[in-house]
Amino acid sequence: MKKYVAIFFAYLCIAISVNFNNQFWLVPAAFVSMAFLNWRVFRIILKWKLLLFLGILVFCTPIFSSQKDAVFMGISYSRNVFEISVVMAYRSLIILMALKYFTQKISVQEIARSLSKLKLLGFGQVFELSLTTLPEVKKITVDCLDEYKISHPFSVFKDTFEWLVKLLVRILVYADTISLNKINQGE
């Protein structure tokens, strides 16, 4: 596990040190070295929501910034904000890939063992409980969203607060049943 933590912190240092001047050699070097470690981490880049976020970050933010000092194809934009946005996008990609690599290679038991040395006991139980409850919470959320869409087919924001309260109540009821089950199993 020490090896994977060291690799994660190395990529974190690379992400922190990226700037607009060294991005042309540091970012490709980080991507190529990550490809040699595990090429599957690049799947995270193919998510359309991430690409949409990065596109908005890199292209829309400079256009709508206050001081515009450059023009590209008739569209004025801020060159400084564009440079900062590109560096932020590269940093986020490097950190996401490093985090994906790190989480693919470690297990809950290894994390729990390491955190117990730091006097953080009970992490394994909490993490195991979260892994078992997240699918059910996702199902509750999707069911509640489907009910909301059926009851309000043409209005996106009508009674949103009421439905959020219903969702919260359903999740709390589920959490209560889980705690009751744990208490009954302990007896």
CB distance 148 to 163 below 8 Å: yes
Dihedral, CA atoms, 109, 113, 116, 122, nearest 10 degrees?
Answer: 10
- Per-residue CA distances from 187 to 6, 72, 149 (Å): 43, 70, 42
Question: Are 35 and 12 in a shared domain?
Answer: yes
Question: Are 134 and 85 in a shared domain?
Answer: no
pLDDT-derived band at 185 (thresholds 50, 70, 90) equals low
What average pLDDT does the segment 36-61 reach?
83
> Last residue of some domain: 106, 126, 151?
106
63-106 pLDDT, tens digit per residue, is 887 787 877 788 787 878 888 888 888 888 888 888 888 877 77
Question: Are 45 and 69 in a shared domain?
Answer: yes
Domain count, the chain: 2
- In the Cβ-directed half-sphere of 47, how many Cα atoms lie within 13 Å? 12
DSSP for residue 156: S
What average pLDDT does the segment 13-23 reach?
85
CA-wise closest residue to 124 among 109, 114, 102, 103: 109
Residue 60's domain spans which residues? 2-106
120-158 pLDDT, tens digit per residue, is 666 667 777 777 788 888 888 888 888 887 776 676 667
Output the average pLDDT for the chain: 79
